[in-house]
Amino acid sequence: MVFTNTLEYLDLMDRLNQTKTPDDVVRNLTRFKISIYESDLEKKYGEPLEVIGYYILFASLFCIIAMGFDLVHGFRSKKLWFPVKYFPLNAVTLAGITVAMKLPVDLSGSMPGVVDQVAKLGSIAFMCPIMANFLPSLATMNSNELLTNVIALGVLVITLVVNICIQISTSVVGNIPNNKFDIELLKDVYDFEYEATELWSLNDQVMKTIAILDVALLLLLIILVSSSLAILKSKQIIELKYQEVHEKDNLHSTGKLLTVEKLHQQVSKYWIMAGSGSPQFISACSVTTTASGVICVLTFLLHGLTVLWTIALCADPVTNPTKPYDSAYNRSTLGIFIVQSIGIILGTVAPFVRCFASLSFKLSIKSMFKVEKYWFQKLLEWKYGSISLAIT
């Protein structure tokens, strides 16, 4: 029944009225019936959140399955730079990600349980490999698609970071008691001795984890924007290089029928040109992709420590003053945490392996610190280009 606490309290008040309890005691206790009723009412309106929690879980599964298909596609085609085919940056994937990120953007929901808290942290960490897996797909878009998709993703990431900061300031995230008054209050409410020093260190761990994840998200967003600017110019350079080689080959052509050996050489040459000149391949082997892979690995390690910390915390009643699931999402938060943890592991594979694709090229120390022209060429064109205004 929805209003169980309210009915039980009203029944208790009726029984007190029938006894010789002083009137002032009954009167003081009567004031709490409105608070109990409002608490039951809030619980009733929060019932759909558990269903929404499973909706978040299935949206996360959608993202994980799509990333898994790209991994399988890369292994089967023996392209260990893992071209993006099933999980590109578009309206469909952005819609799925928006649903999967519901926990960290939920400003009003009370999530005091340990599993509730780490589920929020897990969602932020899950966003990192998602963004890193998008990088090669940027090279397949035209200018308009690239602009709209990157802006949409940027709005989502900035909203996510801002909402997390708001939740920290309102103690929705990282609401572990961190002062003497809160510790004493916990002792009175739960009738148990809690170790203040352990709770304070725990609060510091949560804050540091959130800060690192927020910085990682913003760095990945900067990497995506930088890659978008470079891709616009690098695709033009690749096309020009291809046309130059193609015209040079036509000049040397005799117009006679080719032998099988010559035909094999020509096909092999064009196949190598098409493969090495693929925009996705160039993007996957870029320095920004390597940087995103490193960020993903660090996020994975940080999340691994968070999982170990959660297991230790749930098993230790001294530092766990609340129930593991103490929000309207109920046990769905555990499912979200497990599924998104699997997503972090699976999503880190492709960005990590792509690091070796770029590191496999033999580069001199001088070339490592050289900034290629295509990284800032588009910015120069925007700076010095004229803007045509249609004036009637």
DSSP 11-77: HHHHHHHTTT--HHHHHHHHTHHHHHHHHHHHHHHTTHHHHHHHHHHHHHHHHHHHHHHHHHHHHHT
CA–CA separation, 324 and 331 (whole Å): 9
**What's the DSSP call for residue 388?**
P
Q: Give residues with Cβ within 8 angstroms of 351, minimum separation 6.
A: 129, 132, 133, 135, 289, 292, 293, 296, 297
Query: What length does the chain have?
Result: 392
- Token pair belonging to 105: 């953007």
Apex 98 CA angle, 95 and 104, nearest 5 = 175
> What would the pLDDT profile of 98-138 be if each residue is shown by its tens digit?
999 998 888 776 676 778 888 888 999 999 999 999 998 98
Question: Out of 254-258, 259-263, 305-309, which region has the weakest mean confidence (pLDDT)?
Answer: 254-258
Task: Quote the tokens at residue 305.
Answer: 């420590």
pLDDT at position 301:
93
Report the distance separating Cα 346 and Cα 130, nearest Å.
10
If you average pLDDT over residues 193-205, what whole number do you get? 57
Q: How confident is the model at residue 40 (pLDDT cuts 50, 70, 90)?
A: low
CA torsion, ordered 215, 221, 227, 233, to nearest 10 deg: -130
Contact by Cβ (8 Å): 96, 130: no
Whole-angstrom distance, CA of residue 290 vs CA of residue 354? 7
pTM of the model: 0.76
Of the spans 171-185, 292-306, 351-365, which averages the highest pLDDT?
A: 292-306
